[in-house]
């Protein structure tokens, strides 16, 4: 059942029960869902094109090597040569997300030293994964068919493979850079022409807080803040009332994001439209002052979410 009570404590004071946090209150990390540095749906088309070209080149290289061996009168196994190429290509494709993430960080970094560090780290990681994965696949498959594979591990061999990986990483990274640049340019042109990238649905005028058979209807504009309270979340409204319902802060954050109700602390959300002042502390933490006189403490970890309010900041 939904519990409704009136606030008796002063604004800005965190309830004791908020100290008991649930891991489900944390937002999911960005990744393959297509976030700022993640992999979006359109990236898979690029991956598919690169994979098709790489496989075709690998097969041609293997058959060319076999033809050259036959011309010289040397022994050769076309199937094994094709397997060498495809095992290498398979690991390269699996390691491509390393290059995607590196390129997208490079595009958002202006200073040369971080760029060098990011590029070097990406190439070394890519080459390490490629060599280890390629050798592992070959050893495993040949062991399964009763044979063996000797990589002939030495500094010269590793350097030979690393040189090839540097060229491969540069080619794939350049392709990703060009694709992303073209995508950003098209988005910018759509923005300049006034054509909306996607149709935005109309926001509802009210929302329902549900807990079992009980429902409470409120307007998002009335919400000052939302706080985690163990297995519950507490909605604090501008009129001083509070509604305690079962749920997670992460779910509330996703539902309320279109209304400019954002996370300002690990256990708190705040309605930026109700904020009339913000005081940034030397530590990086901040305090929000709402239009009804109440206040709320925010964490420096979530300062970026209220960066648009900095022009309202009071001197610390």
- CATH number for 246: 2.40.50.1020
Q: 233-255 pLDDT, tens per residue?
A: 999 998 888 888 888 889 888 88
Domain range for 19 is: 3-30+204-314
| Residue 268 CB burial class (10 angstroms; 0-12, 13-18, ≥19) | buried
Q: 264-296 pLDDT, tens per residue?
A: 999 999 999 999 988 888 888 899 999 888 999
Q: Do 189 and 219 have their domain in common?
A: no
Residues 141 and 87: beta-carbon distance below 8 Å: yes
State the pLDDT confidence band at 14, using cuts at 50, 70 and 90.
Answer: very low
State the pLDDT confidence band at 119, using cuts at 50, 70 and 90.
Answer: very high
- How many domains are contained in the chain? 2
Has residue 201 got a pLDDT over 80? Answer: no
Closest residue by Cα to residue 118 from 182, 23, 37: 37
Q: Do 51 and 188 have their domain in common?
A: yes
**Model pLDDT, residue 210:** 74
**Model pLDDT, residue 41:** 57
Taken as a whole, the chain contains a residue count of 316
Only one residue has tokens 């390129």, namely 103
Q: Do 222 and 308 have their domain in common?
A: yes
Q: Do 86 and 174 have their domain in common?
A: yes
Q: Do 81 and 223 have their domain in common?
A: no
**Domain termination residue (choose one: 148, 173, 193):** 193
For 31, the 3-state DSSP assignment is coil
Residues 166 and 127: beta-carbon distance below 8 Å: yes
- Tell me the C-alpha distance between 84 and 91, whole Å: 11
């Amino acid at each position: 059942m939904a519990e409704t009570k009136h606030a008796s404590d002063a604004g800005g004071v965190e309830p004791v029960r908020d100290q008991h946090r649930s891991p489900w209150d944390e937002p999911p990390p960005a990744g393959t869902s297509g976030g700022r540095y993640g992999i979006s749906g359109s990236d898979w088309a690029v991956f598919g094109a690169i994979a098709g070209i790489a496989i075709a080149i690998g097969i041609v290289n293997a058959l060319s090597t076999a033809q050259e061996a036959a011309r010289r009168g040397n022994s050769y196994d076309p199937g094994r040569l094709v397997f060498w190429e495809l095992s290498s290509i398979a690991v390269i494709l699996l390691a491509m997300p390393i290059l995607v993430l590196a390129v997208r960080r490079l595009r958002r970094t202006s200073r040369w030293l971080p760029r060098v560090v990011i590029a070097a780290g990406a190439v070394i990681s890519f080459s390490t994964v490629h060599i280890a994965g390629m050798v592992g696949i070959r050893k495993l498959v040949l062991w399964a068919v009763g044979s063996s594979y000797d990589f002939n591990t030495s500094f010269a061999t590793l350097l030979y493979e690393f040189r090839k990986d540097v060229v491969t990483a540069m080619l794939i990274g350049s392709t990703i850079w060009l694709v992303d640049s073209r995508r950003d340019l098209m988005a910018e042109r759509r923005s300049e022409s006034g054509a909306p990238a996607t149709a935005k649905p109309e926001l509802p005028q009210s929302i329902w807080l549900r807990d079992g058979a009980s429902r409470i209807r409120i307007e998002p504009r009335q919400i000052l803040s939302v706080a985690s309270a163990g297995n519950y979340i507490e909605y604090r409204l501008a009129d001083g009332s509070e509604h305690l319902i079962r749920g997670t802060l992460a779910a509330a954050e996703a539902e309320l994001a279109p209304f400019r109700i954002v996370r300002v602390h690990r256990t708190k959300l705040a309605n930026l439209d109700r904020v009339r002042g913000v005081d940034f502390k030397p530590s990086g933490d901040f305090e929000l002052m709402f239009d009804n006189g109440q206040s709320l403490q925010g964490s420096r970890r979530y300062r970026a979410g209220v960066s648009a309010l900095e022009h309202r900041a009071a001197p610390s």
